[in-house]
Amino acid sequence: MFLTLILLLSGLSQQAMAAQSPPGVECVVFNDQYMTCMWRSKEKLTANYSLYYWYENRTLVVECKHYLQEGGINTGCWFNHSEIIQFRTFQIHVNASQEGKSLFIPTKGMKLQDLVKPAPPGNLTIQNISNNQLQLTWVSTYHKPSCLEHAVKYKSNKDTRWTEQLVSGEIFSFPSVDYEKYYTFYVKSKINQYCGTTQLWSEWSVPVFWGNIKDATEEQAPWVWIHVVLPAASLTLFLVLVILLIRMERIWVIFMPRIPNPSKNFDELFNTHKGNFPEWAGVSKDVVESFKPNYSESFCYVSELPPKEGTTPLWEGNDKPRAHPGHSSTPASSRSSGLSPSKNSYVGV
């Protein structure tokens, strides 16, 4: 009866707006220990979806007991080991109701044995079985180790690419080892074709190393300089330049100091005493008066002596000056004194 109700809800949900529904549900069985079915969308969900599940040939329909949430919204369901049944078709129905409309997520039947993702192998060990051969072994935590196939990834410190090789068992033999190299190994697992058709590989294991660590350190030295030291030095230099640009004003002050403004140090001289230095310096008026000039000079009078008699004046000829009307051409002083103008002399009184 409950199954009939679920089918009825599925028919009604087909008439809802499918464009508003998030993508389909993805289920993964982790190492056959637990399972998660997620319907998380890239867009933020606004409705709380409910999940119902049942197995083929079973009429019992069960709602999810452990919802996974983000921000209070259901985004998936978690199943424990007792709720997982492999080699039977697993059916689910996910729906929600929002604003009076029925929303659903399209689903289809799933085979859980095809959805198993094993745990990474552990306890990786390397042994020398001969002078030129290594043997790598590991341990898987999956309850059926015969259902697993493995992949080994390795590379030496002198190689540029990883080498990956498929292995059926839990032993990997590595021939032609070079004792001058330093090797790194990883292992991952998945369900083989005899137990399922899954393509879900486990995560890579914790790495295991073998070889001459001294040579590896020497080989890694240039790598450290190129990928660690140089980028760190470049970043430091860039930060220093940024700081210098921010504080450029202070740098200009260091290399090109400004001319100091004397008014800051002589504010009283320029503002209070108006530039009067003796007054600002406190010099007494008597001292100031003593530095003033105190001297007098006598006047010097210059006159021309009259020419002597019998001499010819200097202006006879073309340069003779014209006489004013009513005046004699010969100065009176020349006539009276009889002195020659050629023998002029000057006396200062």
Which parts of the chain have pLDDT scores under 70? 1-23, 40-43, 214-225, 227, 247-271, 273-275, 277, 279-283, 287-288, 291-299, 308-349
Provide the 3-class DSSP secondary structure of residue 163: strand
pLDDT recorded at residue 333: 44
State the residue for tokens 């529904």.
21
Q: Which of 288, 168, 157, 159 has the alpha carbon at shortest distance from 224?
A: 157
Same fold, 2-114 and 118-211: yes
Could you state, in order of their start, the residue ranges of all structural domains in the chain? 2-114, 118-211, 296-320+330-349
Q: What is the pTM of this model?
A: 0.54
Q: Which of 124, 123, 150, 216 has the alpha carbon at shortest distance from 178?
A: 216
Residues 145-168 have pLDDT tens digits of: 899 999 999 999 888 899 999 998
Distance of alpha carbon 333 from alpha carbon 306, whole angstroms: 6
Among 3.30.360.10, 2.60.40.10, 3.30.2270.10, 3.90.550.10, name the CATH number for the domain at 118-211.
2.60.40.10
pLDDT recorded at residue 59: 74
pLDDT recorded at residue 152: 96
Level-2 CATH architecture, domain 2-114? Sandwich (2.60)
Residues 200-244 have pLDDT tens digits of: 999 999 999 998 776 555 555 565 567 677 888 888 988 888 877
